[in-house]
Amino acid sequence: MSERPRLTVLSGPSGVGKSTVVAHMRKEHPEVWLSVSATTRKPRPGEQHGVHYFFVADEEMDKLIANGELLEWAEFADNRYGTPRAAVLDRLEAGEPVLLEIDLQGARQVRESMPEAQLVFLAPPSWEELVRRLTGRGTEPPEVIERRLEAARIELAAEPEFDETLVNTSVEDVARELLALMDVV
Ligand code: 5GP
């Protein structure tokens, strides 16, 4: 690779399928380095510390924030999430393509602190499709679903802030387009 690769940030409304796209992409291209975030959320079944997240206690998160060790951080659904700064900078320095998969609040912070970063918005194929994904199993009470939909409306309106938009029509296509934006293929 001739030039120093840029940091790429993948963001978008919750429920749009960011993590599925990233998982698919990494299966095919393990050389893309994906930042492992710190979170105060509890692990879900199958999630491993240091692989999917660094699962930390509230006090540890307080410290990471206070010491400026996070490139960005945000509160999402009552938990905090943040990107460890040093690892990202090391990988970029080493010339590796680096990807962050974070929420919109985090993407805005990266825009401020690293204006050269490439911000990619993952959009649903349609509003109806996003509603289908967010209402999903249909087990949530109506007021919870209404809150999620209201949040999704606000999140969708952020699209013009991004450098690129990819529409999540198929996981394979979007993963390929993302790799192309990262100059990996
Ligand atoms: P989940 O709890 O489902 O793994 O993630 C919830 C949300 O947090 C997703 O939208 C995900 O992109 C976002 N997220 C994960 N890690 C980070 C991070 O380090 N910073 C920010 N700002 N958001 C994150």
Domains along the sequence of the chain with CATH: 7-181 (3.40.50.300)
Least confident segment among 7-16, 31-40, 142-151: 142-151
Which residues have CB under 8 Å from 123's CB, separation 6+? 12, 13, 16, 156, 159, 165, 166, 167, 168
Distance 60 CA to ligand 1 centre (A): 17
pLDDT tens digits along 67-125: 999 999 999 989 999 999 999 999 999 999 999 999 999 999 999 999 999 999 999 99
Q: Hey, which of 52, 103, 105 would you mutate to test ligand 1's pocket, going by the most ligand atoms within 8 Å of its Cβ?
A: 103
Q: How far is CA 15 from CA 58, 119, 134, in A?
A: 25, 18, 6
